[in-house]
Amino acid sequence: MKILIVEDEIKTARALALLISSVSPGAQIAASIPSVETAVNYLSSNEQPDLIFMDVQLADALCFEIFKSIKVTSPVIFCTAYDEYALDAFKANGIDYILKPFSRESISSALSKVNQFKNFFQTRANALPDLEALISKISVNGKKSFLVFKNNKYLSLETNNIAFFYVHNDTSTIFTFTQEEYPVTLSLEEIHSLLDTTQFFRINRQYLINFKAIKEVEHYFARKLLVRMSVPTTENLIVGKEKSALFLKWLEDR
C-alpha cells in the first residue's frame, strides 16, 4: 500500500511514518508533503496513492483547499487536534480521522478501517461528491464571532469586523477595522481552522488577514508579494514565494 503523508510539522510527519511502518510493515510512504501547494503539485504529477494521511491545518492553508484545486481519488484519513465540528462531519460521511498526538492504537484502528472498507475505496470516485459537499460546508460555515475580554468586560466581536489576526509576544491578537486590539487565547492555527477560508488567508506564520482589509498587492523581492492593508500594520506584510501562487489564486477565486 502506497501512503502519502500531508503534514507541515517535520517531526510529526516522521513520527506518523514510523507508526504506520510499525503497524503495517508492508506499507510504503510515497512522500511527505508540507503544504497545500506542494500537495497539489505532487498529486497533479504523480499517480495518486492508495491512502492519504492529511493534516487539517497546513503551513499555507487548510487542507480543504487541495480538493478545490485537484480531484483527489484516494481515500483520506484526516489528522487534527481540534475542530470537533469537522470531526463529526468526517465521521458522518464515512471518512476516518485520528487525533493528535498520534498513538499506535489510533493508527492501527484507522488502517483497519481502510482494510474493512477496501471495496468501498475501490469505488471511491462515487463517494467524492459527498466529500466535496463536506468541504464546501466546512469552508462556508466559518465562525461568525469571537468572545473577547478587555477592560474587565466581555465583548462579542463579529468576525466581519476583524481586519486581521496576528501574533504579538507569543499571543494571538485581533486587530479590527476600527483599529482596536483584543488578545485571544487560541493559537493562530486554531483560529484559522474556525474561519471561512474564502474570507481569511494566512499569509505567513504571524498574520491571518481578511480579504476585505486588503488594499493592494505588489511584487516584492525574490518572487515574494507585499500586501498593503486598509488599516495600519507595524511591519510589512510579506507573502513568501512558496505561498505567492496560492495567495494570488485565493484572491482570484471569489
β-bridge pairing 2-6 and 51-55: parallel
> For residue 149, what are the β-bridge partners?
154
Over range 178-197, report the average pLDDT: 89
Q: What percent of the chain has pLDDT over 90?
A: 46
Query: Which domains are delineated in the chain?
Result: 2-140 (3.40.50.2300), 145-252 (2.40.50.1020)
Round the average pLDDT of the chain to a whole number and report it.
Answer: 84
Whether 83 contacts 193, CB under 8 Å = yes
pLDDT exceeds cutoff 50 at 81: yes
pLDDT exceeds cutoff 80 at 83: no
Distances (CA, A) of 109 to 24, 52, 96, 105, 125: 11, 15, 10, 6, 24
Give 196-222 pLDDT, tens digit per residue: 888 999 999 899 999 999 999 999 988
Q: How confident is the model at residue 136 (pLDDT cuts 50, 70, 90)?
A: low
Q: What is the predicted pLDDT for the residue at 238? A: 95
Q: What is the predicted pLDDT for the residue at 92? A: 34
Q: Is the peptide bond before 25 cis (omega within 30 degrees of 0)?
A: no
